[in-house]
Amino acid sequence: MAETTNETGQSFLPQQRRKKTTPRSVIIADKVADWTIRIGGIGVIVAVFGIMVFLAQTVVPLFMGGEVQGSHTLAREESHPALMDVIDEYKTVSVSVAEDGAISAFHIATGTSLTVPPLDFGGRKVMGFNHTLNGRDMAFGFDDGTLRLAKLNMGAVLLEGDLPAGLTKLENGDMTDGSAVYSQAAAGQIRKITVSAVLEAPQQIATQGTALVAVDYRLGGTVERPEKSFVTIDANGIGRLSRSEAKSNMMTGEVTETLTSSELPGLPQGVKVARVLMNTSADAVMVADSEGTIYRYATRNFDAPQLAETVKLLPSGVSLTTMGFLIGEQSIVLGGSDGSLDVYYRLPRREGDKETADGQILVRGKVLERHKKAVVNMDASQRGKLFVTADEGGEVWVRHSTSEQVLLRLKPKDYDGAYKAVALAPRENGVLAIATSGRVFEWDISVPHPETTLKTIFGKVWYEGYSEPTYTWQSSSGTDAFEPKLSLVPLIFGTLKATIYSLLFAVPIALSAAVYTSEFVHPKVRAVVKPVMEMMASLPSVVLGFIVALILAPIVETWIGAVILATFLVPMSWLLGAHLWQLLPNPIALRYGGLPRFGLMFAVLFIAVNLAVTLGPGFERIFFAGDFKQWVNGSIGDSHRFTTLLVLPIAVGLMYFGMERFLPPRFKTWARNPNRTVAGLAEMARWVLTLTVGWGVSAVVASVLIAVGLDPRGGFLDTYVQRNTLIVGFAMGFAVIPIIYTIAEDALNSVPEHLRGASLGCGATQWQTAVLVILPTAMSGVFAGIMVGMGRAVGETMIVVMAAGNTPVLDWNLFNGLRALSANIAVEMPEAVQGGTLYRMLFLAALTLFAITFVVNTLAEMIRQRFRKRAAQL
Amino acid sequence: MEIAAAVASGAVAQNARTYHRVTDLRARGEPFTWVLGGALCLGIVMIVGFLLLVLWNGFLTFVPRPVAVVTTTAGKVSAGEVARTDTFRPAPDALAKLAPDAQEKIKKAEGFAGRTLYRIGNFDLYSEDFRWIDDNEIKSTEYPKNIVYVERQEWGPFIGTVKAITLDGKPAEGTDFSAPAVASAYSEALARGKRVREIERDEIGNVNHEVERARLAVRKAELKSGRDSQAYKDAAAHFEQLSVDSRGEYERLTAEVQRLRSINDKFTVTFAEIGGREKTVPMVNIVRAYMPNDLSFAQKVGVYFSRWGEFLISEPREANTEGGVFPAIFGTLAMTLLMVIAVAPFGVMTALYLREYAKQGRLVAFVRISVNNLAGVPSIVYGVFGLGFFAYVIGGSIDQLFYPERLPNPTFGTGGLLWASLTLALLTVPVVIVATEEALAAVPRSMREGSLACGASKWQTIRNIVMPRALPGVMTGIILAMARGAGEVAPLMLVGVVKLAPELPIDGHFPYVHLERSFMHLGFHIFDVGFQSRNSEAGKPMVFVTTVLLITLVAVMNAAAIIIRNRLKRRFVGSQF
């Protein structure tokens, strides 16, 4: 009871009840804190997991293929069969050119026709036709043997101010005056799109009356001095390569065109030419007959074209139905009447290939998914390797050459007969197909990332200009014609290479140091040594990268001989020191077994390093024929001596093991001699003997290895680059050693003291206790340390950016650089466009890193927890 | 038990015990022990050597070094500071050109020869800053007393002699730089130079800022209520008015700048390089000049500290390879501070939730492992996330909502101080969570129970009983997070660090603190100067000093963590049950 009463039951104090309830403010504070902490806490946890979700969500569109956002059919009165169709940059107007020269332009959304003056062919009939990739330059071959070139102009002008009067409204704010379309552009401006065409004068190419059945035309040169190259095949099967150059007279300003022609040799009599292709630099011409035989000409020498190669690319019974370049003119797409569609590359001839006149050869790079019916039409993108193909059955497929995938399969519901032309919008956001009936089918499409599939990212891909499928990372270049090469494999390989080599360096040092700190030094020394080693972990990695790449790399390059010598000499010196130490009488060895011995180890290290520097040049002369860099890339010397040196540690190790196992007990008793000096001498003798015999054995093994063809050069040792994996490994050592060291040392140190005591009490030496009792018990903790160190090495960025040279190569060469996932992100992210393919690819790289480290760390954590449980049970 | 204890107490005791018995020498594993110990030695040598290298180079960078005048056997004369020496292997054809005795010497040294890199300065005359001179080619080396070493605003240092001094267009008597007339003219020139900078940066900057604000207001009104609205017309009229007004102001200021510049052009010093070519430098462009071969100890100390002063408080020049790093120091500190403001409450909240509120079960154990793991996720991944999520998604939305008038130029929709801080906060939050959780776990359960039994609420218990005891651990966690954050560079490269930020994130324009601005950072400064500058050799000294600064910053934070932990531990040690 809170009330205070006296014996009589009457209160001395005025009646006053003390509150039993908690003050409101406390309750409110409690509630507020409760909710804040709950929401904040859960929020942070969600946010942290949100990272993974966000990364994944950004990556997913890479694998989504394409999407149709809308489609419609326009029934138009089209009396003239179209030769080709072009869409303008803004997907507003479609223009098609018909066989009789009529140009029908219409507003895509509504089908409203625009008036465009036709091309006047003067009654001649078009027999051969072709156009450039953007459809702006056209060539017509006529039945009378003349050729006319034409230019299609689709201008888009931004207008300031008010619209002209008398416009007819179309859709979405678009308007027309009958011949041009006005549409709303950004910032309140008006865009006016006009269409016009200019036809040049006829040029008599073939003899009068012989029709030109196939033509191709490229416009080169400069604006002031255009150079028009074209190739024509006439009905008699005579091919001609022509060039028309315009020269303007400086005085009169008069333009004169000169036409030069030369005949293409070697076309068989009566060949039925289906298609002819020429590239922009006019140094390669391909004539295809209807059976699929390609006559490839090298036309670098314009006056004397050379038939370089004749090859039949289609099986017999299949006729050629379509053929065209992709952007960059390195890929040739060939479609057959059986629905097949292949991509060919023109590559340098390799050993074993068919002999060709110009040392090049057409190679089938890709076999793409077949259509069910003959492929009749195609149109290629102007900004990538995307293209559309249409077949007789009405299917229109949007596909990509690099990724070999079909992104969209379009078929109109009301398909009614063959397509005359298909067109892909310049921004890859629309497809248009014109049927013979005059119907126009239009699809609004979205194919943001056509070049990526799981296969292109993780598998081998045959890129343009490459002699075989490769794993390549080369994300960007200046031109649209460049084929992005987005394989993560070289980057993942680079990360693994850096990780493995740095762990090879760091793990032995870190673990040895941890065992020594935990088991062999006085706790007072340990209290100093451990923080010093841990200090390494707090060094910013940018500092490590800078020192190692700019200061150390040039030194290592000059003194590479000494560095290699030191890796052998330093451990050897410690062994020598140990054997000399064993010679000391026991009392002295005991008295100075602590800090002085540790100090001596330092001294030996310094002496060995000094010795390595002094002997480095001599070592280089003996082992590497005097110049390491030339030796290592295989231009001088042999590798027998160095291979011997590499085999030596293994040989000696095996011999030691063998001696313990198989030597008669009589020999072992040497070491048990009560006189320590004698025992020590015996041990020393054994060591020297092992080394000598080991050297002999290694020499033999090395000869065998080299005879078998296992030269270390060309494998993990090859051409020396200044910023290489050795340097990276060393720098990464600074980052990784302290992590492994701390975790391993903690694990070793937390092994219960009674185990140590029991082992020593039973008469085991410190060494035996450490190796046979403590280490096995702490093994899982030590292993966890290595895993965590590995996680750090995988994700380290600045060191690899600065010290690794950043070349995405796939080799194990210790002396070559690498490009790691993390470095790649750091280098390329600043120039990646938000939402673009590269941007998402880099997110994929980040996700990969995230996944690798998350798995590695989770495993480490699980192992550690198991170890803790086991240690607690002991 | 006794025996076990004795055994465990150390190697000496154990060895003494087994002294009389015959032990197989191999069982002691002496050689293996030496290799283990050797590895520890190597580790220690690596870290100590590394630190010594950095500190040695960093602290000696600013020491004024003598300038040597070197004459080669070919008769070429160069004057310069020794940057470093090196051994190298001369190419065979270069070797053949040497004197026979020199060839012999090199042959003896297994093909190695020595060479020295001199910083010869005078980039405007020589088109190179540094020159290698082979030791074998040197005929004589002298240290003339009259050589001056001039640090300039442009073109890097000049090494040569003073030819003439012009004061106010008239030649001054003598070439003594410390003459009172010259010294006072010099300080006046500097004052004028400072005034020019003030006008250009602050006053003209203010004018431009006002006009830009008015322009944005016009655009904003247009977007909000259209071109026909009254608001738009008002804003447009204001903008017109301001443009006219400011033009007059602008012209007045530029005229003033012009006037000061023309005065300064009359105060010049003409130097001659060692080959005799002359170069006239306006006094205002001279940052520091001294006679390196004729310095007393006190003067050396003076130059040394004045260089440190310049380094710490001034702005970089010459593509960051000279001058100071003040913006980078400011950026690093501002970013770290913002990061702590973000990371501390959330980290502590999460730890409190995990430890005090959540039901301890499998789920929490899983969350705990995951949080632990997140500390091991590469920092660059956080950078990618920060760019994609903070800058592009959140920042992009902010721009759409609040700054539509500035589009398409992003305001928050690109990397900046705020996003960098938040990214690093995310990166370091696991560190704080783990440390706080451990600290909370270390508070005895009995204290909580006692408090609750006395009638305190849960929050009162946490605030008054648990948190004070856990504070040392929490502080340690936060400071370790700061140290980690200050040393990270990779994620910052994606979310807002730039090589040269024109403006600090804090200035005199409303709203005074500009969290959206990109900033400079010491770590990135190291990367940029060391790897991306025109001449990495010229930048090297700068990088070393910056490195020392960064390492000191990180080390001070780490040390602070340890000291605070110890202090607070001591304070609460008595109050433990």
> Chunked in runs of 10, what are the mean pLDDT values of chain A (874 residues)?
45 60 83 84 78 90 87 76 84 86 85 85 85 86 88 83 74 80 77 87 83 86 80 86 78 75 82 86 87 88 86 88 88 90 89 81 90 89 90 90 90 82 89 85 90 90 89 81 89 93 94 93 87 83 90 89 92 92 84 87 94 90 85 83 89 83 68 75 86 91 87 82 90 90 89 90 90 89 89 90 87 89 91 88 93 87 81 72
Separation of alpha carbons B382 and B401, rounded Å: 26
Pair (B98, B146) in one structural domain: yes
**Interface contact flag, B527 A604, Cβ < 8 Å:** no
Q: Determine the Cα angle at A718 with ends A713 and A723, to 5°.
A: 150
Q: What does the block give as tokens for A358?
A: 């110009």
Closest approach of chain B CAs to the CA of A803, in angstroms? 10
Q: Which of B5, B46, B387 sits opposite A829 (nearest CB)?
A: B387
- The reply to whether A68-458 and A489-639+711-873 are identical in fold is no
* Of the partner residues B25, B433, B536, the one whose CB lies closest to the CB of residue A550: B536
Tally A–B CB contacts below 8 A: 370
To test the contact with chain B by mutation, choose from A37, A42, A771 the residue with the greatest count of B C-beta atoms within 10 A, namely A37
Residue A75 forms contact with B (CB below 8 Å): no
Mean pLDDT over the full length of chain B = 84
pLDDT computed for residue B5 by the predictor:
43
- Same domain for B78 and B132, yes or no, is yes
Distance CA B185, CA B175 (A): 14
The stretch B346-371 carries a mean pLDDT of 84
Any domain includes B312:
no
CB contact under 8 A, B376 and A42: no
- My answer on whether B365 and B340 are in the same domain is yes
CA distance A702 to A651: 11
Chain A contacts in chain B segment 54-83 (CB below 8 A): 54
Q: Please give, rounded to a whole number of angstroms, the shortest distance from the CA of A184 to a CA of chain B.
A: 17
- pLDDT band at residue B16 under the 50/70/90 scheme: very low
- Domain-terminating residue out of B60, B78, B103: B60
Whether B352 contacts chain A with CB within 8 A: yes
For residues B285 and B215, membership in a common domain is answered with no
The answer to whether residues B411 and B454 belong to one domain is yes
The token pair at A572 is 């050897």
Task: Answer whether A857 touches B (CB < 8 Å).
Answer: yes
- CB contact under 8 Å between B380 and A846, yes or no, is yes
pLDDT of residue A6: 46
CB contact under 8 A, A517 and B40: yes
pLDDT of residue A16: 63
Chain-chain contact of B14 with A687 (C-beta, under 8 angstroms): no
A42 vs B: CB within 8 A: yes
> Would you say residue B316 lies in a domain?
no
Domain membership of residue B335 as a residue range: 327-573
Query: With an 8 Å Cβ cutoff, are A672 and B22 in contact?
Result: yes
The answer to whether B523 and B489 have CB atoms below 8 angstroms apart is yes
- In our burial notation (b when 16+ CB lie closer than 10 A, e otherwise), range A727-739 reads bbbbbbbbbbbbb
CB-based contacts of A748, cutoff 8 Å, min separation 6: A514, A515, A518, A519, A774, A775, A778, A781, A782
- Predicted TM-score (pTM) above 0.95: no
pLDDT band at B122 (very low <50, low <70, confident <90, very high): confident
Question: Does residue B568 lie within any of the structural domains?
Answer: yes
pLDDT of residue A845: 93
- Does residue B275 sit in the same domain as residue B424? no
Do the bridges between strand A203-204 and strand A190-199 make them parallel or antiparallel, or are there none, so unpaired? unpaired
Place of tokens 């000291």: B563
Per-residue pLDDT at B576: 43
Domain map of chain A by residue range? 1-63, 68-458, 489-639+711-873, 640-710
d(CA B148, CA B281): 13
Using CB atoms, pick whichever of A543, A551, A671 lies closest to residue B551. A543
Same domain? For B257 and B280 the reply is no
Asked if B555 and A538 touch (Cβ cutoff 8 Å), the reply is: yes
Host H or E run for residue A279? none
B341 against B108, higher pLDDT: B341
What does the pLDDT read at residue B511? 77
Q: Is residue B204 in a domain?
A: yes
Q: Does domain A489-639+711-873 have CATH number 1.10.3720.10?
A: yes
Residues B480, B437 within the same domain: yes
Return mean pLDDT, chain A. 85
With an 8 Å Cβ cutoff, is B42 touching chain A? yes
Q: How confident is the model at residue B408 (pLDDT cuts 50, 70, 90)?
A: confident
Same domain, B159 and B253: no
Residue B415 sits at φ, ψ, to 5 deg, of: -60, 150
Instruction: Give residue for tokens 């003996």.
Output: A622
pLDDT of residue B166: 86
**B409 and B444 co-located in one domain:** yes
- Can you give the pLDDT at residue A353? 78
For residue A807, the model assigns a pLDDT of 86
Tell me: do B454 and B546 sit in the same domain: yes
Query: Is B177 inside any structural domain?
Result: no
Q: Does domain A68-458 have CATH number 2.130.10.10?
A: yes
Taking a C-beta distance cutoff of 8 angstroms, is the pair B565, B473 a contact?
A: yes
- Residue ranges of the alpha helices (H) in B98-203? 100-108, 123-126, 180-198
Say if B11 is an interface residue toward chain A (CB within 8 Å).
yes
Burial environment of residue A291 by CB neighbours within 10 A (0 to 12, 13 to 18, 19 or more): middle
In a domain, B282, yes or no: yes
Q: Which residues contact A62 (CB under 8 A, 6 or more apart)?
A: A449, A452, A457, A837, A840, A841, A844
Asked which of A248-257, B214-223, B342-351 is least confident by mean pLDDT, the reply is: A248-257
Q: What are phi and psi of A263, to 5 degrees?
A: -85, 140
Asked whether residue B310 is assigned to any structural domain, the reply reads: no
Same domain (yes/no): B518, B390:
yes
User: In chain B, positions 75-134, which contact chain A (CB-CB < 8 Å)?
Assistant: 86-89, 109-112
Residues in chain A within 8 Å Cβ distance of B4: 754, 757-758, 760-761
Q: Which of B275, B303, B315, B317 is CA-nearest to residue B149?
A: B303
- Give the total number of structural domains in chain B: 4
